[in-house]
Chain A
């Protein structure tokens, strides 16, 4: 698994993860009201009689910006591990929210994960969002926890040292 600590692999995973998060934030930032509707749909952060509208609205306003800031940092290579750690935290939250929704019979077809405007009326493949987020979570944990060693110069094409 030494190849995992190769700078090129680390860079590629970081940039891909960052691009996914920048893409995911785009529509949410453009239409925070529509994203708030998706947050309401999950019923995890409210609104409710006790919580009111502030927690879900705040989440709808801030979360897309956290996604885009982390995404840009991952792509730019600035504070990459911290950005990945926050990305992992968000993904863990998304996975919990999706599982919670499934457990409570709430459909996750229109979860607001990547888009807030398109309507997925089919929903047959909605469950794939859970393993998809788990895959991204693994990538984020990798970027946060296993940065390449500066002293390592192992080329990708050296199988003898790659195992």
Chain B
């Protein structure tokens, strides 16, 4: 019986995994395309986007901050933060034109979307910045808000 019929060799498995680890970490460090391993990959290196936790966002809401929902409109209708205005990334240009007079008067804007895998809030904040409107991001977005048991509203209106 040939060599091929012998069992799997643990040291080979460990070697393959180790090579992948070293290659991955090396590529991340030296390719120029990597990321900071302990930081949010949705924020580009050197970018000054600010994320705030849900508790801080709730305090801001109590103080009258303006919340913007970057999710698709259907999600907004199903549930949103009370008082939040819809500014879906997919329809940013139209929605921004409608909201611009309001947004330009505010310096306490919080943008949120569907959670960690969602970067719509980051994109919306970038696009707002390009237009001279400052805003912060609700870290973990809508799930963080609902998981904390904070109030929500439903329907098409704020």
Contact = CB atoms under 8 A, between A and B. Distances in A.
Interface stretch (A39-47, A91-99, A130-138): A39-47
B1 A151 contact: yes
B116 interface: yes
Contacts of B25: 61-62
B28 A32 contact: yes
Contact of B116 (A43, A65, A79): A43
Nearest to A73: B16
B16 A69 contact: yes
Contact of A79 (B16, B27, B117): B16
Chain B interface helix/strand/loop/mixed: loop
B41 A36 contact: yes
Interface in A16-61: 29-33, 36-43, 46-48, 52-54, 57-58, 60-61
B8 A81 contact: yes
A149 B2 contact: yes
Contacts of A83: 16
A40 B35 CA distance: 14
A86 B20 CA distance: 11
Contact of A37 (B8, B33, B36, B42): B42
A48 B40 CA distance: 11
B119 A37 contact: yes
A41 B116 CA distance: 6
B38 A82 contact: no
Contact of A54 (B4, B23, B37, B119): B37
B39 interface: yes
26 contacts: A32-B28, A32-B34, A32-B41, A33-B35, A33-B42, A36-B42, A40-B42, A40-B116, A53-B41, A54-B37, A54-B38, A57-B35, A57-B41, A61-B35, A64-B24, A65-B23, A65-B24, A66-B16, A66-B17, A69-B16, A70-B16, A70-B20, A86-B16, A149-B4, A151-B1, A151-B2
